[in-house]
Amino acid sequence: MLRIPNKLSRNETINTGFGAKSLQTDTRIFDKNGKPNIQKKGLAFFERYSVYHSIVELSWTKFYLILFFFYFIVNLIFACIYFSLGTESLNTNYKTINLWDFFIECYFFSSQTLTTVGYGHLSPNNFWASLIASIEAIIGVLGLAVATSLLYSKFIRPKSFIKFSNNILITPHKENNALMFRMAPFKNTQLSESEVFLSMVLKVEENGIFVNKYFRLDTEISKISSFILSWTVVHPINENSPIFGFTKEDLINSKMELIIYLKSFDDKYGNNVVKNHSYISDDLVWGAKFKPMFMADESNNITVLDFDLLNDYDEISF
């Protein structure tokens, strides 16, 4: 940990809302994917988690798996109920039917009732079977409405498709050094009016207590009108930088964390999209510069953005 807070006295800290006390000095504030690295306790399960937000944030694969799982389970439950009512509760075209075949017929009857398809192969034959079928039908209608709304929410939810370089680099830049990282949009989106904000967390010792210090980092370019190629964000390490004069060991010992907040306008969504990202000391490469990742194609008519080069850099000495 840094025991030399005088290096930071020239800079004003910012209030991020994360707090200053550092009880676990190796804990990062944001995960690599930009989500807060926070666990909430003292609340019931459904007070900690929003079902809607949790489902909307799921991947498409998990989303469809959950839909099919609930569809199967609900049909299985109602099939068991129909089966328990017995063969006399349902009209069937079969004169004789064994128990296993009857259960399969009950399952498909449940599926037809739940989806309101109603082929008519089976039908209720008494009050209790009709009551269960009517309950299942309303559950199916409501369930379809919920599934459709969640599907729609996932489609229209603004999301930024941005890839970040694996590392942040310290490299000679103009008269001093600079800290830089690279990012690029990887979908067929068109982002404009993109703004980036950088905050750095340093853990220092003050009066025998380790505390977090938060600093806003200036960038050479903080806003671009069109974000369609790669963007190398550069923070000049000059007299106005909180890490001016820091050595590689200082940055490592400070348990540095760089927090990125990116906001862009996506013309397809017609709305702003945001993206958070985080780097820690382990991601730091001292003495390197990024290789170019876009170039003209063979015909010299199209610009090629090569994501295989997103993380590539050359080591340099200084």
pLDDT band at 2 (very low <50, low <70, confident <90, very high): very low
pLDDT of residue 117: 86
Would 46 be classed as within a structural domain? no
Paired with 284 in beta bridges are 168
Q: Identify the weakest region by mean pLDDT among 22-36, 98-112, 184-198, 256-270.
A: 22-36
CATH assignment of the domain containing 102: 1.10.287.70
Most confident by average pLDDT, 38-52, 66-80, 263-277: 66-80
**Of the segments 14-18, 79-83, 245-249, which one has the largest average pLDDT value?**
79-83
Higher local confidence (pLDDT), 184 or 268 = 184
In a shared domain, residues 32 and 71: no
pTM of the model: 0.72
H or E element that contains 79: helix 60-85
| C-alpha to C-alpha distance for 254 and 8, rounded to whole angstroms | 12
Q: Is the pLDDT of residue 27 over 80?
A: no
Q: Let me know whether 306 and 214 are in one domain.
A: yes
- Taking only the tens place, the pLDDT of each residue in 107-141 is 999 999 998 888 877 888 888 889 999 999 999 99
pLDDT in tens, 253-301: 878 889 999 999 998 888 899 999 999 988 999 999 999 998 888 888 8
Residues 114 and 231 in one domain: no
Please tell me the distance from the alpha carbon of residue 53 to that of residue 156, in angstroms, as a whole number: 14
Are 65 and 28 in the same domain? no
Query: Would 268 be classed as within a structural domain?
Result: yes
Choose one of 156, 172, 194: the last residue of a domain: 156
- The residue with greater pLDDT, 65 or 121, is 65
Show the beta-strand stretches assigned E in the chain: 90-91, 123-124, 162-164, 168-173, 176-185, 191-206, 209-217, 223-227, 231-237, 257-266, 271-280, 284-286, 288-290, 294-296, 303-305, 313-315
Percent of the chain at pLDDT > 90 equals: 40
From CA 234, how far away is CA 136, in angstroms rounded? 59
When divided into structural domains, the chain yields a total of 2
Q: Is the pLDDT of residue 97 over 80?
A: no
Domain membership flag for residue 44: no
Report how far residue 251's alpha carbon sits from residue 23's, in angstroms, rounded to the nearest whole number: 19
Domain boundary among 128, 156, 184: 156
Q: Are residues 102 and 10 in the same domain?
A: no
- Same-domain pairing of 33 and 171: yes
One domain, residues 310 and 224: yes
**Top-confidence range, 39-43, 91-95, 111-115, 119-123:** 111-115
Listed in sequence order, the DSSP H helices in 157-290 are: 248-253
Are residue 142 and residue 163 in the same domain, yes or no? Answer: no
Spatial separation of the C-alpha atoms in residues 235 and 280, rounded to whole Å: 16
Q: What are phi and psi of 81, to 5 degrees?
A: -65, -45
Looking at 124, 156, 188, the residue that finishes a domain is: 156
Mean pLDDT of the chain: 84
Q: Which range marks the domain in which residue 196 is found? A: 5-38+159-315
Note whether residue 243 is domain-resident. yes
Q: Is residue 43 part of a domain?
A: no
What pLDDT is attached to residue 299? 86
CA dihedral 297, 303, 307, 311 (to 10 degrees): 100
Q: By C-alpha distance, which of 74, 132, 269 is closest to 190? A: 269
For residues 198-205, average pLDDT: 84
**The residue to which tokens 């050479």 are assigned:** 220
Provide the pLDDT for residue 20.
Answer: 54
